[in-house]
Amino acid sequence: MGMMKTEDSLGEKEIIAAAEKALADIALVREEVSKVIFGQENVVENTLLAVLSGGHALLVGVPGLAKTKLVTTLGEVLGLGANRIQFTPDLMPSDILGSEVMDQDENGRRSFRFVKGPVFAQLLMADEINRASPRTQSALLQSMQEYHVTIAGQRYDLPTPFHVLATQNPLEQEGTYPLPEAQLDRFLLQVDVHYPELAAERQILLETTGISETKPQAVLDAGRLMEIQKLIRQMPVSDKVVDAILDLVRSARPGQGNAATDKNVAWGPGPRAGQAMMLCARARALYEGRLAPSLDDIHALAEPVLEHRMALTFAARAEGMSVRDVIAGLVKQAKG
């Protein structure tokens, strides 16, 4: 039975026309971000892919690598209302979600009024998320999953679109609460932020220590971003690419017949990894100026999609292996 065309879905010609317009818009976004963030092309790309795909991203890197600056820049370029929360061990759930305060009118009548917390933003920067206590982490992660908060039995919907870009410092483990695996899985991508290349670092020194700094301009607005997100979900994906996604995700699970995985992986990615790959591969095609995802997209996305969704055995860790090494091996096998 063929796919029925709903009122919302587009025909092939309309999808191609809409995709070509989206290509132009995304190219403008890339250009605008590059005026402020130097180098780090991979980081910018993966963070933008998470947002274009309608998801959240976890940025992992040592302090001072412009993670916060990237998020504020994206907020400005995409025309989204942005808030920032600096996580600390004493932060409470109400500090994020908001709380009820008591008001008294001129007649002395008292009533409760809900004061919204910083989570009510379209783009939320959650800085050093692993510094907060589990209660506070779960309050944020629940709102990421459900797109609403419940306070005193009353439901409050979050703005649309709603994206969380969280940062985590991989070095400091003292006084931190690592995110549980089930909560890590809620991030569409993990984006590793490395030190800049020499040329980019030279540019940073020259451009950011003068009197004036370049300010990015808004290229999109929330409505247009949501149109592109909807289009990405309607882009066709070939059977070859779908099979490649399934093969790669399944090969990362122990007990599925991959000898290297059986030896080194304690637990592997669930179906959310495949869903993330399907969405991000389409977004990456548009980002790279193409109308359909290819096998290259799958190989490029393997690390950001899988890295936070699998864990190594004790023996593999003792040998000094990393999850990245295992993923690189799986991609090499997939390329044949």
Residue 214's pLDDT is what?
77
Residue 40's pLDDT is what?
84
CA atoms of 217 and 271, how far apart (whole Å) = 38
Q: How far is CA 77 from CA 34, 131, 207, 225, in A?
A: 11, 29, 19, 11
Residue 122's pLDDT is what?
95
pTM above 0.85, yes or no: yes
CA atoms of 323 and 316, how far apart (whole Å) = 9
Side-chain half-sphere exposure of 68, counting CA atoms within 13 A:
12
| Strand stretches in the chain, DSSP E | 57-60, 82-86, 98-104, 110-116, 123-127, 148-151, 154-157, 163-168, 189-192, 265-267, 311-312
Whether 100 shows a pLDDT value over 90: the answer reads no
Report pLDDT digits (tens) over 273-309.
Answer: 999 999 999 999 999 989 899 999 999 999 999 999 9
DSSP line for 261-327: HHHHEEE---HHHHHHHHHHHHHHHHHTT-SS--HHHHHHHHHHHHGGG-EE-HHHHHTT--HHHHH
CA atoms of 56 and 58, how far apart (whole Å) = 7
**Residue 310 and residue 267 in contact, taking contact as beta carbons nearer than 8 Å:** yes
Whether 4 shows a pLDDT value over 60: the answer reads no
Between 79 and 212, name the one with better pLDDT: 79
Residue with tokens 């919302």, as numbered in its chain: 8
Percentage of residues of the chain with pLDDT beyond 70? 96
The closest of 87, 93, 161 to 125, measured between CA atoms, is 87
Q: pLDDT band at residue 211, thresholds of 50, 70 and 90?
A: confident
Residue 178's pLDDT is what?
81
Read off the pLDDT of each residue in 265-272 and give the average, rounded to a whole number: 92
Whether 170 shows a pLDDT value over 70: the answer reads yes
Q: pLDDT band at residue 199, thresholds of 50, 70 and 90?
A: confident
Please give the angle made by the CA atoms of 93, 99 and 100, to the nearest 5 degrees: 155
Read off the pLDDT of each residue in 172-185 and give the average, rounded to a whole number: 77
Please give the angle made by the CA atoms of 161, 113 and 107, to the nearest 5 degrees: 150
Report pLDDT digits (tens) over 238-261.
Answer: 999 999 999 999 999 999 888 889
CA atoms of 296 and 68, how far apart (whole Å) = 29
Whether 173 shows a pLDDT value over 70: the answer reads no
Query: How much is the mean pLDDT over the chain?
Result: 88
Report pLDDT digits (tens) over 116-127.
Answer: 889 999 999 999
In a 10 Å sphere around its CB, with 0-12 CB exposed, 13-18 middle and 19+ buried, how is residue 119 labelled?
A: buried
Q: pLDDT band at residue 7, thresholds of 50, 70 and 90?
A: very low
Between 153 and 48, name the one with better pLDDT: 48
**Pair of tokens at residue 138:** 């779960």
The closest of 64, 60, 84, 88 to 176, measured between CA atoms, is 88
Whether 28 shows a pLDDT value over 90: the answer reads yes
**Residue 177 and residue 132 in contact, taking contact as beta carbons nearer than 8 Å:** yes
DSSP state for residue 130 in the 8-state scheme:
G
Residue 237's pLDDT is what?
93
Secondary-structure breakdown of the chain: helix, strand, coil percentages, each rounded to the nearest 5: 50, 15, 35
Between 174 and 82, name the one with better pLDDT: 82
Residue 107's pLDDT is what?
79
